[in-house]
Amino acid sequence: MQHFEKGAVANNKKVIILCTVGVFLIGGTTFGILKYQNSQVKASKVSATVKKVNKNYNDLVSEKNYNKKLKELTNLEKEYKQYLASNNKDSKITTEYQNDIAKGKSYFQEKANSSIKNNTSKKLSDETNDTLTLKIKNLNSTLSKIFNQKGVVYTSREVKSYKTKISKLTDKYSKKANELAEKESSESSSIAASSSSAASSLAASSSAQAASTAASSTSSSTTYAKSTTTSANTGTRTSTTNNTARATTGTTTGSKTSTGTTSSYHSSTTSSKSTGTNTNSGTSNGGQTLNWDNGDKSYDTGNHVENYASDGSDLGGFDIN
């Protein structure tokens, strides 16, 4: 009997042990399955998040508008900060955010560096006022963008570094531009003074020439030119007179012809007698009086011509040699 009881107890212990082992086996298997499932779920979530981050970066790259591109980068960094604040962080997601953000920043940094390089003078002495002004404008625009990107693309220290670098360039260019402007102003003043002096000299020369011409004209108006030609064969004498005041034309056979020109009037007389008397009027000694259309008269004695106005005043005369 006792032997039977001892056997029953031993069997019960075996059953308990087997049951315990079974429970552990089942529990371990279940735990393993659950753990695997959880890891798969997590991996799936990580993969989805990585794809989302990468998509946001691709949107940033494909965006052509400068301001919109900066906005895309700002949103990406905001998402990254929110992710870091969560409890369930994964190194793959963290790495993806960091890489994409760094590449996004590089676009703006390369733009700024390229602008600074392109607007850095290789030889300052070759620059003009216009080229320096353009470089200053471009550099100030670049610095303004850097300030606007502070906290997204650049840190405060990086912004300060860019400001120092760009300010050195713009200050140097401004100084050179001012020097060139002063030089151009000085040259312009010199040219203007020279032109003014030349104009004054020309005006003085023109005035002197005009005065000389006027004096010459006055002298010419009171000068008489006279020529006398005597023909021995015909006994005819011709007297030609240029007078700005009057002119006469007359023909006498065996006598004398007087010819003159004027810009205002003329008279013509003809004598057909051999005695030297004139059909217009004459004297016993062979002289003649010429009546003009305006009432003036000329008295010719043969050797001298005297002119009288219609009111009787003496207008002067000339000798005929």
**pLDDT-based confidence at residue 23 (cuts at 50, 70, 90):** low
The structural domains of the chain, with segments of one domain joined by +, span 129-194, 225-319
**pLDDT-based confidence at residue 41 (cuts at 50, 70, 90):** low
Most confident of 133-142, 181-190, 202-211, 238-247: 133-142
Q: What pLDDT does 245 receive?
A: 35
Question: In angstroms, what CA-CA distances link 297 with 145, 278, 314, 315?
Answer: 101, 14, 10, 10
**pLDDT-based confidence at residue 37 (cuts at 50, 70, 90):** low
What element of type H or E holds 158? helix 156-221
Mean pLDDT of 6-27: 62
Digit-coded pLDDT (tens) for 62-115: 999 999 999 999 999 999 999 999 888 899 999 999 999 999 999 999 999 999
pTM for this entry: 0.49
Residues 154 and 108: their CA atoms lie apart, in Å, by: 9
CB 93 within 8 A of CB 50: yes
pLDDT for 229 beyond 80: no
Sheet containing strand 237-242, edge to edge, reads: 225-230, 237-242, 256-261, 248-252, 267-271
Q: What pLDDT does 87 receive?
A: 85
CB 237 within 8 A of CB 228: yes
Q: Which residue's entry shows tokens 């069997």?
A: 11
